[in-house]
Amino acid sequence: MKFLKFILLLITINVSAQQGGMWIPSLLEGMNEEEMTNLGSKLTAKDIYDVNNSSLKDAIGHFNGGCTSEIISDQGLILTNHHCGFSQIQSHSSLENDYLKDGFWAMNLEDELPNEGLYIEFIVSIEDITTQVLSGVTDTMTAKEKQSQISKNSNVAEGATTKEAWQDTKVKAFYNGNQYFLFVTERFEDIRLVGAPPTSIGKFGSDTDNWVFPRHTGDFSMFRIYADENNKPAKYSKDNKPYKPKHFLPISLDGIEEGDFTLVFGFPGRTNEYLPATAIEHITKEFNPSNIAIREAALKVIDAAMKTSDDIRIKYASKQARIANAWKKWIGENLGIEKSNAVANRRKFENEFTTALKAKGLEEKYGSILPEFDTLYNDFSEVNIRRRNFIEVFIVTNELMQMTFRAYQMEAAVNTNPEAFEKAKERLIGTLKGIHKNYNVDVDKGVFKAVMPLYKYTASVDPSIYEKSAFTNLESALALLEGKPEDVLKKLNKDAAYNYAKPIIENFIKTIDPEFQQINQAITALQTKYMTALMEALPDARYFPDANSTLRVTYGQVRGYAPRDAVYYQPVSYLDGVIEKFIPGDYEFDVPKKLLELYESKDYGQYADKNGKVPVCFLGTNHTTGGNSGSPAIDAHGNLVGLNFDRVWEGTMSDMNYDPEICRNIMVDARYVLFIVDKFAGATRLIEEMTLVHPKKK
């Protein structure tokens, strides 16, 4: 009995020792492979990543540089999130064809819709070239000199790599610049929209449920990769054919239950797990709050306007989602950091680090790092906020200010080089057209009045510029840009909005941004040194590289969690919960009639769980972040069981402070995806091209 207890203890230690991490796919042998096996995986490191044979990695594509997507048929069918395909779905939508509201399903290949500019990129190979990149870099160099040596070496390495004509290379820094990898990539550019559920499924619960569990969102959409006659990447052509992939993911119909192994494979964007306490304090106490306030003010205006007209709703859908998403995440992040005592804990850890430095005689080499961080962040905090506030107002929330900012960039380009006029003008015209495609001057003026007072570095808030400026209307904006360069600049400098914004922009360009860059560079360099010092002083700790938009593996298990005293969240949600949340006619919680009917008639086909219910979402202990949206959740055998799309509210702090007790990722169950495609949309041709498997039935 005692022995059994001991064994059980060992098992629990093993599971709870699972501390997260986003691992490099080419380096899984050793520690990760063993840990994965202990968590229930039957996959070898080579099943996941293999340069010479097809492997799971060949099915994982970086979707437009921001999300993840995966191939789920031998016809290049792509699965990603609804919110990842959102701007494409929006751009095909109009009042007549409202694909946001009604969904879209191409019933044959001819109906699949091309998307200009959209691309999916795959990883061909990954190689550690640290020695090469750091050659010639010495301790006596300044941060600038080091950086320029590193760029030079990286360029040489990129140029010297053998690759096919349609492939690309890039070098990326890991462990804050302590390790470097070279990636060979392959980019497909003919990507067509195949299907998307209505927003009332794909974005069910909208902002209220965003970042929250229990969750009931069917956050998926489908695309298809087209390739040329040789099955190679090509620009859009109607003659292109569905891509035949090296690998695609079979889909499991057996689903998941608590404790099952899950692997999430994708392109996490950015994390900062090794920040000093002083940085976490600055971000959550000063930086986040000021940006939250600006977004909140903008959202109040945009949200209200979207409810008044379908035209505004469609135009502002994508923008609103973008603004609201980070706004809510930052609030959760602040709460989580506070509640988990992250700052105090990080200080405690720093004391351990300092003790270890002393014990190992490393004090002289690294002892000044932490005090230096304190000094740097002290100087940094104000300018960091100023700079970000400018971005929030002039790029994220207010469109008229954005147009003046882009116009300023044109003027600046011409002032440094008069020849640059035509090119700079073309770029500006492109931006103006993009903005005006989804522009409503009243909404924007409302946003201006709301956010400008929060930009503390402005003398006045003058909404009358909206009546006088040429930029509020595409035609007059384009007319302003006609003529000789001198005349255009003259006209531009007479424009009311431009005149208003120019001194603010100049202050940003000439004062705020350079000051920010200078301190930021010093912080980055110190962070590199800190990482080196950590690994030297505390070599036995678990170090995983921060996310940097490269392909990573994160693994864990299906698990619920206890966010508060006496509360436990089950790991799986069901269609019953959709019905519980249903509010007829509500903009967040309406449910399509067809889905209600399917629920009534229990017409679930092969997609129900053992308990007879249709699973919708589930939780895992996979360590994910922004960019992991659309990543496949893969079972112990390499089959698709879900689609990652979010994290839980209490765990959004995981970008700075991963806590295995409380941090969970949220996935849509693959069976819900299939159920919607098959039973709801009737797109059976898509089900037929997939490979549906039963790994649990031997």
Question: Which residues form the interface with ligand GLU (CB under 6 A)?
Answer: 67, 624-629, 645-647
d(C-alpha 207, C-alpha 203), whole Å: 9
Reading the block at residue 49, the tokens are: 């990543």
Q: Are 619 and 666 in contact (CB under 8 A)?
A: yes
Stretch that binds ligand ARG, among 131-139, 321-329, 354-362, 403-411 (CB under 6 A): 321-329
Is residue 388 part of the contact set for ligand ARG (CB under 6 A)? no
User: Phi, psi (5° rounding) for residue 176?
Assistant: 50, 40
**Burial class of residue 16 (count of CB atoms within 10 Å of its CB; 0-12, 13-18, 19+):** exposed
Q: Indicate the residue among 440 and 652 with the shorter CB distance to ligand GLU.
A: 652
d(C-alpha 55, C-alpha 349), whole Å: 39
From 41, 47, 58, 83, the catalytic residue: 83
Q: Indicate the residue among 571 and 626 with the shorter CB distance to ligand GLU.
A: 626
Q: Indicate the residue among 325 and 340 with the shorter CB distance to ligand ARG.
A: 325
Is residue 324 part of the contact set for ligand ARG (CB under 6 A)? yes
* Residue with the shortest CB distance to ligand GLU: 629
DSSP H or E stretch at residue 265: strand 261-266
Q: Residue 71: beta bridge partners? A: 78
Q: Indicate the residue among 210 and 404 with the shorter CB distance to ligand ARG.
A: 210
Q: Indicate the residue among 505 and 553 with the shorter CB distance to ligand GLU.
A: 553
Is residue 546 part of the contact set for ligand ARG (CB under 6 A)? no
Reading the block at residue 300, the tokens are: 């109040």
Closest alpha carbon to 435 in 465, 405, 391: 405
The answer to whether 694 is a known catalytic residue is no
Q: Are 40 and 260 in contact (CB under 8 A)?
A: yes
Q: Are 516 and 383 in contact (CB under 8 A)?
A: yes
| Interaction residues for ligand ARG, span 224-243 (CB under 6 A) | none
Cα distance between the two ends of the chain: 33
210 contact choice in ligand GLU, ligand ARG, none (CB below 5 to 8 Å, kind-dependent):
ligand ARG
d(C-alpha 579, C-alpha 590), whole Å: 9
Is residue 206 part of the contact set for ligand ARG (CB under 6 A)? yes
Is residue 319 part of the contact set for ligand ARG (CB under 6 A)? no
Collapsed DSSP state (helix, strand, coil) of residue 206: helix
Is residue 549 part of the contact set for ligand ARG (CB under 6 A)? no
Q: Indicate the residue among 76 and 626 with the shorter CB distance to ligand GLU.
A: 626
Q: Are 647 and 655 in contact (CB under 8 A)?
A: no
324 contact choice in ligand ARG, ligand GLU, none (CB below 5 to 8 Å, kind-dependent):
ligand ARG
Cα–Cα distances (Å) from 200 to 85, 204, 347, 480, in that order, read 15, 5, 45, 42
**Site mask for ligand ARG (CB under 6 A), range 634-673, x = bound:** -----------xx---------------------------
Closest alpha carbon to 618 in 577, 585, 586: 577
624 contact choice in ligand ARG, ligand GLU, none (CB below 5 to 8 Å, kind-dependent):
ligand GLU
Tell me the closest approach of the beta carbon of residue 211 to ligand GLU, in angstroms.
8
From 190, 219, 546, 655, the catalytic residue: 219
The answer to whether 219 is a known catalytic residue is yes
From 91, 469, 629, 631, the catalytic residue: 629
Residues near ligand ARG (CB under 6 A) = 83, 203, 206-207, 210-211, 321, 324-325, 626, 629, 645-646
Provide the annotated active-site residues.
83, 219, 629
